[in-house]
Amino acid sequence: MRRARPAAHSGRMLWSDPADDTPAEAARMRELLRRVGILIALCSSLAMIVVMV
C-alpha cells in the first residue's frame, strides 16, 4: 500500500532556501570540460580512422 507524502515535502522550495544559481566559475569549468570531451572524442575517432588506413 502506498503512503501519501506529507504536505511539507511536496518538492517545492521554501522561502528561506537559497537560490539555485550556479557560480560563474563552475559554469565556465563545465563548458570547458564539455569542449575537452568533444575534442577527445574527435581526436580518438580520427586516430582510429588513421590506424585503419
Return the domain boundaries, the chain: 24-53
Q: Which residues contact 13 (CB under 8 A, 6 or more apart)?
A: 20
Tens of pLDDT, residues 1-53: 566 655 555 566 666 766 677 789 999 999 999 999 999 999 999 999 999 98
pTM of this structure: 0.56
DSSP secondary structure letter of residue 51: H
Residue 21: its pLDDT value, please? Answer: 76
Q: Angle CA(20)–CA(25)–CA(31) in degrees, nearest 5?
A: 95
pLDDT at 5: 58
What cell does 6 get?
506529507
pLDDT of residue 37: 98
Rounded distance between C-alpha atoms, residue 48 and residue 19, angstroms: 45
